[in-house]
Amino acid sequence: MNEKNDLKQIIAERIKEARELSGLSQGQASKLLKMHRPTISEIEAGNRNVSAVELSQFAELYDVNISWLSGQMTDPKDTEDLKQQLAFRELQKLNPEEVEKFMNVFRALHGTDKDE
């Protein structure tokens, strides 16, 4: 594979990863982006080039850094930071009862006491 194809594949994989981490299906993403679902599939498979405008739309929809999505940021911690940002965004959608349930599960998983 040449460098251009390698970058194309990185972008495809990151678009797919960002979509999955955002909790959207290809169908949901296609509706929000006003694209056909097969277009999303082809992009994520690396079979279709992504325009700069489309890349920007993906970054905005998935709330990720366009530099990461475009393959410019390669530090592995960038991916972990992305996962943390997406998790935090999802937690913000919870109501107070759901937050308390989540925290109880979190405490149980980590063996921490509620009063700590």
| Ordered DSSP codes for 1-66 | --HHHHHHHHHHHHHHHHHHHHT--HHHHHHHHT--HHHHHHHHTT-S---HHHHHHHHHHHT--H
Closest residue by Cα to residue 106 from 114, 115, 94: 114
Q: Is residue 55 a part of any domain in this protein? A: yes
Host domain of residue 92: 3-110
Number of folded domains that form the chain:
1
Tell me, yes or no, if the pTM score tops 0.75: no
What's the DSSP call for residue 94? S
CATH of the domain at 66: 1.10.260.40
Helix crossing, 26-33 with 52-62: angle to 10°? Answer: 120
pLDDT per residue over 30-81, tens digit each? Answer: 999 999 999 999 999 999 999 999 999 999 999 888 888 888 876 545 666 7
Residue-wise pLDDT for 94-106, tens only, equals 888 888 888 888 7
